[in-house]
Amino acid sequence: MKQTTENRQDKINRIVIVGGGTAGWMTAATLIKVLGKNYCDIRLIESDQIGTVSVGEATIPQIKLFNQILGIDENDFIKKTQGSFKLGIEFIDWHKKGSSYVHPFGDYGTTMNAIQFHHYWLKGQQQGKVPDLEGYSLAAVAARQGKFMRPQNMGNSPLSQINYAFHFDATLYADYLRDFAVERGVNRTEGKVTDVSLRSSDGFIDSVLLETGERVEGDLFVDCTGFKALLIEGAMKTGFVDWSDVLPCDTAVAMPCKAKDTEVLYPYTQAKAQKAGWIWRIPLQHRVGNGYVYPSKFVSDEEAVKTLTEQMEGEPIGEPNFLRWKTGIRKKGWNKNCVAIGLSAGFVEPLESTGLHLIQSSIAKLMSLFPHQGFDQVDIDAYNSQSRNELEYIRDFIVLHYKATDRDDSEFWRYCKEMKVSKRLQAKMDVYQANGRIFRQDNELFTEVSWLAVMHGQGIIPNGYHPLVDVLSEEELARRLAHIHSVIQKSAETMPMQKDFIAQYCKALHST
Ligand SMILES: Cc1cc2nc3c(=O)[nH]c(=O)nc-3n(C[C@H](O)[C@H](O)[C@H](O)COP(=O)(O)OP(=O)(O)OC[C@H]3O[C@@H](n4cnc5c(N)ncnc54)[C@H](O)[C@@H]3O)c2cc1C
């Protein structure tokens, strides 16, 4: 149906979300919270027969904003999802075998005279006088000690700037959001979509057909069908941009295990590099999430399961869950009246836990560009260019972990070292290498602190530092660095162990 000037401002009356994984339920929960139940009909179709990926258990701090928008009580949410807190990610064996660094959520030291802290540290380090950079990050120091607390109202103490995210059970999280959305008025339909019908006049989606024979019509369709991308690709043939040349891992096997009975529950995700790919470890209250992300070109499924089970700390729970993908992005995340959110929109591997954030960010963009029946192409174009830009920056950040490495002990790592990366990433690495300078561009997701953590952790050593650091005398520089280091260590000392913090505020009601 061609829109006329009379009806182009007409409101959307029926939103149909296909897919009830994390993406579907995050979208449904936000829509019902923001639009309320009287604005339009919101329907979600999911199929138990097909199931969800059941991974996606580590997050980044932006998820707190999502919880705030929904008005979620954080302690209640952690209890119900067997959650734990996350202060960063530890990368083991990435720079070289035997190496370890934490990418923390939160600053290193403090900016002085408008110059980023790490320039002062670089000078100190070049003179061989200071401990490693990690000792200046409260998040990293506390993480290594198994400590956690929420930020305190304590002026300019580092304790007032604690930044954190969560680990949780992905299935319980989707259930939690489903209860939230359904209670508030989202209509849930259990059923398998077997066909998608397009309007002959303009190619917009008109309806989806369920296995039961029911036809569900809508004005706006949200494709949350995961890697299947049933609407955006299956029906609309939108096209895909393949990035597997720079991110060759295309498979994962996930297998949770029982947790070791220890006193310490570490508040960080672990990513341990392997001969090819890497293994994640995500500590929850009731179990540990594990998975091996690998390139199928270099590692067989049998080898992957063997490597993963050998490195697991406890008895496996359930069967291996294999996930396969093509790395890259849909050419248009929003095409006509169909918006793809979640894995259907594209995927870069989970090394920096960005999947759920991208869902959140797609929902935020959809809300700010929310359509009327007219579906203005300029709005759709804005959505698509913002999405593309956002994922390209994230891709580059993840590629950095593979590109900047001293490892050459396998064909995989030799490929990564030699691969050609985007001009933008190469420029970032070159500028840092020269004088330690880092710039955040275009409101990209990862800040200067994140880029610093990974470039430093991966072993890039700048040739120089910011010249204005020399404004401070050497004695003054040494005094300030020592003071900051001691404030960080003392702050960490005052923090409780994460296990005690959880026991006090948000212990899960059941152990499984
Ligand atoms: C190996 C791996 C590890 C990850 N780790 C993280 C992480 O640590 N942190 C993070 O933030 N993100 C992570 N992600 C990403 C995260 O898991 C996903 O972004 C998130 O789970 C959203 O998935 P989804 O809802 O798009 O897809 P899915 O979970 O696959 O859900 C698809 C839904 O569509 C339904 N469906 C499909 N076809 C039909 C049909 N024909 N009819 C009806 N319904 C249908 C299914 O039943 C299901 O409900 C990871 C991803 C992978 C692959």
Output the CA 445–ligand 1 centroid distance in Å. 21
Residue 4 pLDDT grade (very low, low, confident, very high; cuts 50, 70, 90): low
Q: Which of 349, 279, 353 is nearest to 313 (CA)?
A: 279
- Run of H or E residues at 273: strand 269-273
Output the CA 356–ligand 1 centroid distance in Å. 10
Here the tokens at position 420 are: 């050609």
Does the CB atom of residue 46 touch ligand 1 within 6 A?
Answer: yes
CA-to-CA dists, residue 123 to 113, 116, 457, 488, angstroms? 15, 12, 17, 20
Q: Are 325 and 350 in contact (CB under 8 A)?
A: no
Output the CA 226–ligand 1 centroid distance in Å. 5
Domains belonging to the chain, first-starting first, are 14-54+169-241+330-375 (3.50.50.60), 393-471 (no CATH)
Instruction: Give the whole-number percent of the chain exceeding pLDDT 70.
Output: 98
Length of the chain: 512
The residue nearest atom 43 of ligand 1, judged by CA position, is 192
Q: What pLDDT, on a 0 to 100 scale, did the predictor assign at position 261?
A: 82
Q: Give the CA angle between residues 379, 382, 387 to the nearest 5°.
A: 130
Q: What pLDDT, on a 0 to 100 scale, did the predictor assign at position 501?
A: 98
Pocket test for ligand 1, best of 52, 324, 325 (most atoms within 8 A of CB): 52
Q: What pLDDT, on a 0 to 100 scale, did the predictor assign at position 417?
A: 96
Q: Which of 168, 317, 315 is nearest to 255 (CA)?
A: 317
Q: Are 146 and 265 in contact (CB under 8 A)?
A: yes
Higher pLDDT, 231 or 512: 231
Catalytic residue among 79, 80, 86, 428: 86
Does the CB atom of residue 58 touch ligand 1 within 6 A?
Answer: yes
d(Cα 146, Cα 500) in Å, to the nearest integer?
10
Residue 128 pLDDT grade (very low, low, confident, very high; cuts 50, 70, 90): confident
Does the CB atom of residue 250 touch ligand 1 within 6 A?
Answer: no
For the cut 90, the answer to whether the pLDDT of residue 9 exceeds it is no
d(Cα 348, Cα 243) in Å, to the nearest integer?
8
d(Cα 506, Cα 453) in Å, to the nearest integer?
30
State the closest ligand 1 atom to the C-alpha of 293, by its place in the atom list counted from 1.
1
Output the CA 272–ligand 1 centroid distance in Å. 23
Helix 63-70 crosses helix 22-35 at what angle (to 10 degrees)?
40
What's the half-sphere exposure (Cβ side, CA atoms, 13 Å) at 296?
Answer: 12
Output the CA 20–ligand 1 centroid distance in Å. 9
Whether 33 is a known active-site residue: answer: no
Q: Are 173 and 81 in contact (CB under 8 A)?
A: yes
Q: Across residues 19-29, what is the average pLDDT? A: 98
Q: What pLDDT, on a 0 to 100 scale, did the predictor assign at position 5?
A: 54
pLDDT digits (tens, 9 = 90+) for 288-331: 999 999 999 999 999 999 999 999 999 999 999 999 999 999 99
For the cut 70, the answer to whether the pLDDT of residue 168 exceeds it is yes
Does the CB atom of residue 24 touch ligand 1 within 6 A?
Answer: yes
Q: What pLDDT, on a 0 to 100 scale, did the predictor assign at position 7?
A: 66
d(Cα 466, Cα 9) in Å, to the nearest integer?
54
Pocket test for ligand 1, best of 47, 212, 322, 323 (most atoms within 8 A of CB): 47
Which amino acid does the sequence have at 383?
Answer: Y
Q: What pLDDT, on a 0 to 100 scale, did the predictor assign at position 406?
A: 98
Q: Across residues 362-390, what is the average pLDDT? A: 97
pLDDT digits (tens, 9 = 90+) for 215-230: 999 999 999 999 999 9
R_g of the chain computed on alpha carbons: 24
Question: CB burial class (10 A; 0-12, 13-18, 19+) of residue 200?
Answer: exposed
d(Cα 282, Cα 291) in Å, to the nearest integer?
9
Does the CB atom of residue 277 touch ligand 1 within 6 A?
Answer: no
For the cut 70, the answer to whether the pLDDT of residue 72 exceeds it is yes
Question: CB burial class (10 A; 0-12, 13-18, 19+) of residue 511?
Answer: exposed
Q: What pLDDT, on a 0 to 100 scale, did the predictor assign at position 368?
A: 98
pLDDT digits (tens, 9 = 90+) for 406-462: 999 999 999 999 999 999 999 999 999 999 999 999 999 999 999 999 999 999 999
Residue 512 pLDDT grade (very low, low, confident, very high; cuts 50, 70, 90): low
pLDDT digits (tens, 9 = 90+) for 251-270: 999 999 999 888 899 999 99
Q: What pLDDT, on a 0 to 100 scale, did the predictor assign at position 480?
A: 97
Output the CA 325–ligand 1 centroid distance in Å. 11
| pTM attached to this predicted model | 0.97
Pocket test for ligand 1, best of 173, 177, 224 (most atoms within 8 A of CB): 224
Beta-bridged to residue 210, according to DSSP, are 193
Q: Are 511 and 286 in contact (CB under 8 A)?
A: yes
Output the CA 355–ligand 1 centroid distance in Å. 9
Q: What pLDDT, on a 0 to 100 scale, did the predictor assign at position 509?
A: 84
Residue 111 pLDDT grade (very low, low, confident, very high; cuts 50, 70, 90): very high
Q: What pLDDT, on a 0 to 100 scale, did the predictor assign at position 432?
A: 98
pLDDT mean across residues, the chain: 96
Q: What pLDDT, on a 0 to 100 scale, did the predictor assign at position 306?
A: 98
Does the CB atom of residue 226 touch ligand 1 within 6 A?
Answer: yes
User: Strands, E, within 278-327: which ranges?
Assistant: 278-283, 288-294, 321-324
pLDDT digits (tens, 9 = 90+) for 464-501: 999 999 999 999 999 999 999 999 999 999 999 999 99
Does the CB atom of residue 350 touch ligand 1 within 6 A?
Answer: yes
Question: CB burial class (10 A; 0-12, 13-18, 19+) of residue 96?
Answer: middle
Q: Are 208 and 18 in contact (CB under 8 A)?
A: yes
Q: What pLDDT, on a 0 to 100 scale, did the predictor assign at position 121?
A: 98
